[in-house]
């Protein structure tokens, strides 16, 4: 069985609030003045994405498709978490099937459920592959 409590801890290890260092450092800086209301919104959004405000501003401004690298990474992390959870569920369903097999009675609902779990897992795998290619 998958321990659901472990999922957020694993996901946090993949998250980096600041951008990675670059050789030679960053040569330019910009100063942006905001109202208290704008600051509150920026802080809220940065916290939602678990990044710093400067990283949020840069990624938002430079994202070619409207999707920031942080949003994309978070989507991939979530897909992997869902995949692990689904694998745990499939394992539990398989254990139920084994118990039913011990009695000699295999129910049609169990077979259909196992097929559905497999189809969903394959769809998640395909989605992760597509995210990695684009």
**Does 22 reside within a domain?**
no
The range of the structural domain enclosing residue 98 comes to 6-13+32-133
**Does 18 reside within a domain?**
no
**Does 54 reside within a domain?**
yes
Among candidate residues 14, 34, 5, the one with its CA nearest the CA of residue 79: 14
**Does 26 reside within a domain?**
no
The model's pLDDT over 87-121, given as tens digits with 9 standing for 90+, comes to 877 877 887 778 788 887 776 677 777 777 788 88
Distance CA 73, CA 14 (A): 9
**Does 20 reside within a domain?**
no
**Does 114 reside within a domain?**
yes
Residue 84 confidence (pLDDT): 81
**Does 63 reside within a domain?**
yes
**Does 78 reside within a domain?**
yes
The model's pLDDT over 70-81, given as tens digits with 9 standing for 90+, comes to 767 777 777 887
Provide the domain count of the chain.
1
Among candidate residues 121, 14, 21, 118, the one with its CA nearest the CA of residue 75: 14
């Amino acid at each position: 069985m998958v321990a659901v409590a472990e999922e957020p801890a694993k996901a946090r290890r993949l998250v980096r609030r600041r951008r990675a260092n670059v050789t030679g450092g960053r040569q330019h800086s910009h100063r942006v003045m905001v109202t208290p209301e704008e600051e509150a919104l920026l802080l809220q959004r940065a916290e939602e994405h678990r990044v710093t405000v400067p990283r949020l501003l840069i990624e938002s401004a430079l994202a070619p498709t409207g999707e920031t690298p942080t949003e994309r990474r978070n989507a991939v992390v979530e897909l992997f978490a869902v995949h692990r959870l689904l694998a745990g569920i499939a394992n539990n369903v398989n254990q139920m099937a084994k118990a039913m097999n011990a009695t000699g009675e295999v129910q049609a609902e169990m077979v259909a459920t196992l097929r559905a779990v497999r189809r969903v897992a394959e769809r998640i795998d395909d989605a992760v592959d597509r995210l990695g290619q684009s």
